Structure 1
């Protein structure tokens, strides 16, 4: 389950980067700013810093990373995740720092994680360079497709130097569009893996249809380049977990006590925040995965295994 959540969030962030009370002229202005910023994003080679925070009753997961996404679709990220976890039975608290790298290779996003001095890796569905090129040259109209998921756009701030947009989108429809483009970038994936991915996204899209996400997007007024992006992903994580609990109640899936407790925590008590700051063009930045990491990394556990590892460490402390 954790793997589905990571795949959905990671791939959707890659694709999406990023009020109804407004008068018609104001709404048109907001849409113009949105389109200019969206199109500028497709031709942006700048570096960025990202922070993601997940809070729950007995855990705190935080990610901090520096990265660079190039206009050809290639990307490199390097940073650290940290877990603070309190075992509810023993009341013992454990902390773990987890270095990681992320790279886009062909049509895959590859995540490398180091735990206990050992590197592991996980491959997630990504977007092929060919499809990125199609977006950039206009062969594929991603912007108009993305509008299916946009419920409203408003211009919240407008100064001499910056403009602040607020975009409200439907998570279920966002996942439907994401799934379409991941399927078009199928590359060397087997038909079984493509079908499994499509089914996972279709399941999440159905369960999250109507769930709203609010994106605050600040852009440079002259260049239209992104300055900051912030998203409260709490509705996403809660909606997904509640969908899983509903599937369990209907007898469609089975959860053990630990899994059910985690889904209940995510579904009703968790908060998930995303924040990105663009750092400008940095030609000398080096975030590539070291060759020794790439060679030594073994196929890895999913996020549930990471959580379990920290839980086990708490029990031993």
Structure 2
């Protein structure tokens, strides 16, 4: 797929150099670039810069398939923390509740970065949804969360990162309706690139669902020994092509933080153990589809 970038917003806002902040006050950063949408080969990315020079912070929202979730990365000197891993306080405000999200400390280029683990949405699950999630057994994957309306997306004005930062940062995003709509359009294009019938998949009565727990697909003994000795964490986004008979036919690594040897071990393990109930179309008939997930490998 040809890589292309599309500017969503024409205006760049500059941070006034006269603004002074105490150590205890949040650091507000205005946008200093337009939103950029990156149509990559196997993922869609929203990116934007906030602040100037020493205070510059870049955010990346990566989506590897359909749905409202995304992987969040924030990079810049204000993101520096001594913790190798922990949970961060993340709020899409002013209308959505704070959520705590696990992260790994790392870099993006030569900048300190928080690499948030797993997929998040602009809003955490409701209390009712959290209760339902708590009741999931090991053979369940997730529950269907209520969609976040366009009105709620439009009402957003900022993204705030609190703990573990010594000074919380407020990134003045403005409305997220147009950027998230562009991310949705990119994912539709991405699925078409995979050979998926996008319109049929929007009407599925059931997606491809594992018949056994994904947590049992990969075991520590599956990893190359030199990767285990290194002891470094790994985050791997993968996608399986799943036939109308429920059999996985191909494994695709969509993004990885580890060498190819590690990726191959993941795909080999998943292909050997994953089993599925096939996806069903609007008439309840099986059809070829896909399954996506993330492997987070962490030495305790």
TM above 0.5 = no
Q: TM-score, normalised by structure 1?
A: 0.27
Q: Which has the higher contact order (CA 8 A, sep 6+)?
A: 1
Structure with the higher helix share, 1 or 2: 1
Q: TM-score, normalised by structure 2?
A: 0.28
